[in-house]
Amino acid sequence: MTTISPNTVTAISDGARDDAPAAAAGTADFDALFRAHQPRLVEALALVAGDRELAADAVQEAFVKAHLKWRRIGSYDDPIGWVRRVAINRLRDEHRRSRRKRRAIDRLASQSNGTPALPDRDLMSQDLVAQLADLPKRQRLCVVLRYVEDLSTAEIARTLDVSEGTVKSNLSDARARLRSRLGRPPGAPT
């Protein structure tokens, strides 16, 4: 995985700008946003994806897209919300792609009556990650956005483009599942 620092992105794109003073101010805003949110966003999405490198790639791609459109994105009320949404969409796309790939491999294997050797998934061994990995994807995403990213129910609903009731339902279901797995009685804190 190749990482790009905000300075590299800035250096690449600064040559194309004619309005240097305005660009410098916008670049400073972007750099501050990147430094403040990139590490935490990578960690949060790594919990969702179960793969830190995949999460880092998605977040990096989202920040590159934001930088390329910074004049517009920088004027949004919540530019990091835009970046988060793009990164989540990237993870969804990758999940769909890998699911299609697995299905194709399974179809080919059944046609040839052989079983393909699939690579082992490199999952983090932390207890929390293992518990989260067993949750359905939507519930896992809601839990991570709520408890890791510290987003409100309304912010999660906007990010996922669902109703607040859907978010609340997913969070409630996820907490119930985690409680039962951890052997805690209903009503006990998760």
pLDDT digits (tens, 9 = 90+) for 45-69: 999 898 999 999 999 999 999 999 9
How high is the mean pLDDT of the chain?
78
pLDDT for 38 equals 96
Q: What residues have CB less than 8 Å from 131, skipping those under 6 apart?
A: 178, 181, 182
177: nearest Cα among 133, 145, 147, 146:
133
Q: Enter the tokens of residue 101.
A: 């790939």
Q: Which residue has 């919990």 as its token pair?
A: 47
pLDDT at 157 over 80: yes
The full set of domains in the chain, from first to last, is: 1-122 (no CATH), 125-190 (1.10.10.10)
pLDDT for 127 equals 67
**Assessment of whether the complete model's pTM goes beyond 0.85:** no
User: Rounded mean pLDDT of 135-164?
Assistant: 90
User: Rounded mean pLDDT of 80-93?
Assistant: 94
d(CA 88, CA 74): 19
Distances (CA, A) of 84 to 30, 140, 141: 14, 15, 12
Confidence of residue 20 (pLDDT cuts 50, 70, 90): very low
Confidence of residue 190 (pLDDT cuts 50, 70, 90): low
